A and B are shown apart, each in its own frame.
Chain A
């Protein structure tokens, strides 16, 4: 794809060799000048905060700190792992969400994309509609679902009663049903995943299916042995994204749990970021909050590394053939 320009580049290097020095030095200087805003940003918004955050995670820094912060060493981290029940609870809830919601969304998104991939008239209209929830603000979606899931007056329970359910759940007011309620809301936005699947599906070379047809493969065999392996890079990307999004899940939860940093009924929706927000910005323990953020980061990196290891075993790349 980039062959011609690469060759050209080489030729140019070759015959530019004798007069290289001055022009090259100037080119390099200009390049670094263009990069200056990036370097400034790296230093101010990344380097400094990163180092600073390592330090404050080891202090008892408060939001509005009267007096100086005290250096505590690893005490924040020790407390987190030995005494903080909410830390474990929020970790458990976040993991439970990842384990339960990711497969659900992955399968639902795939099913929708398979339908969208059929070649009929007007498919792009469906595509447009199904993608709507993915661009809308998470807060707005949560505000809407807060109403739809209202136990006494909401539409969801109205539909359930009509369908013959005599005792519909209390959704966001019931610790058992709070997470399924959030999942239902998540399902509403599954079109975002479907669009990415769709791009993956449309990249599968048709000749694979033709060859399989000749070999007498049925629809299921084709799906299992062509579609799924060819989609595995897409699925991998989606799983990775779903995990990171779950670890950072915040805005909609904030609305669904009442907007005060509360964690829903019996803290059943106390996701990690919600707890972090509560600790750092509601209770004002900045030092401890930063320690929580570091553990979240380490957790995220660990999960990404594990995923990368699994990728080698389960993900199929065409070029490896």
Chain B
């Protein structure tokens, strides 16, 4: 405590050198050199991420006749701009169908998971009932339960009721809520003042009205986070479609992509075009929602 006075002095020098507080500056480097060093390392790391993506686009834009693998490798499209490859991949390889299939599953799971999770989170956050704490502890416990134990018995049960080869096993469970989303939403709903509910009740509103008209509109940020997580999860899901879908017409993009690679004598330009088709929607969602998404992930990391 006696150091407080001294601290302002240090603060001032720190401000002058411009060092951000959380991590000390690397030692004994003049400011310019330090900045150059940081930018250089991060640029190299970014190139490590981006060059393969650029190469993927280059390969996809080549016609069937041009070699996909060249020496030296072409990082960005230079010679060929053969957009035809994308058309062939979408139409001839039917990726337009797989995209539609994936979109269908995304719509069903996002709607289901967001709606049911918010429904379940509501009493945990805002109602009083016996057994609340026990049930909430149980909810947290189910979050830790590993998927593989349930995988095969679920498969066998769905198989027995005739759901094998259909989309039901891939979206119906989402409508029973997602423990992680319920947890996130409960935390969020608790931060909304309870007086709103009380005032509404005085005005004669029922619990459903309170949930649907008052709490839900205020929860849009957390609902968005859950929707984005679920979108990415469903779009990228591989194991589910792999074990449940047998009819190629029903394949999702991830499964179709894996099958395309597996085929002998594949045109690599088409594989790379298909890969881009699989990656693009997720990237778009990520760019638009990244602040919310990264905030959500970071919070989980700290409080999980």
Contact = CB atoms under 8 A, between A and B. Distances in A.
Is B truly associated with A? yes
Interface of A: 2, 5, 8-9, 12, 24, 27-28, 30-32, 34-35, 37-38, 40-42, 44-46, 48-50, 52-53, 56, 61, 112, 114-120, 123, 126-133, 135-140, 143-148, 150, 153-155, 158, 188, 191, 195-196, 198-204, 206-207, 209-211, 213-214, 218-220, 222-223, 227, 233-234, 237-238, 244, 247-248, 250-251, 254-255, 258-260, 273, 276, 280-281, 286, 289-290, 293-294, 296-297, 300, 304
Contact of B290 (A128, A201, A248, A294): A128
A258 B52 contact: no
Interface in B117-138: 119-120, 122-123, 127-130, 132, 135
B258 interface: yes
A48 B56 CA distance: 45
A207 B258 contact: no
Interface of B: 3, 6-7, 10-11, 14, 18-27, 34-35, 38-39, 41-42, 45-46, 48-50, 52-53, 55-56, 59, 69, 71-73, 116, 119-120, 122-123, 127-130, 132, 135, 139, 142, 144-157, 173, 175-177, 182, 190-191, 193-195, 198, 207, 211, 232, 235-236, 238-239, 242-243, 253-254, 257-259, 261-262, 268, 271-272, 275, 278-279, 282-283, 286-287, 290, 293-294, 297-299, 301-302, 304
Nearest to A238: B301
22 contacts: A30-B207, A34-B207, A35-B135, A48-B153, A50-B150, A115-B45, A118-B34, A127-B294, A129-B46, A131-B290, A131-B294, A135-B282, A135-B293, A137-B253, A137-B282, A147-B271, A196-B298, A219-B24, A220-B27, A237-B302, A237-B304, A259-B261
A155 B177 contact: no
A155 B123 contact: no
B31 to A, nearest CB: 10
Contacts of A258: 262
A155 B69 CA distance: 8
Given A129-B50, A210-B14, A300-B146, 14 more contacts: A28-B129, A28-B130, A35-B120, A40-B176, A46-B145, A49-B157, A130-B45, A136-B236, A137-B257, A139-B238, A150-B69, A158-B71, A188-B52, A213-B14
Given A117-B23, A129-B46, A147-B268, A233 B146 contact: no
Contacts of B59: 147
A197 B149 CA distance: 31
Contacts of B198: 12
Specify the main secondary structure of chain B where it touches its partner.
helix
Contacts of A300: 146
B275 A259 contact: no
Central interface residue in B73, B149, B275, by most chain A CB within 10 Å:
B149
B42 A200 contact: no
A115 B45 CA distance: 10
Contact of A211 (B7, B34, B139, B177): B7
A40 to B, nearest CB: 6
A196 B19 CA distance: 21
Given A34-B120, A46-B142, A144-B52, A136 B149 contact: no
Contacts of A202: 22
B278 A137 contact: yes
B52 A119 contact: no
A164 B299 CA distance: 45
Nearest to B144: A304
Given A137-B254, A254-B238, A118 B152 contact: no
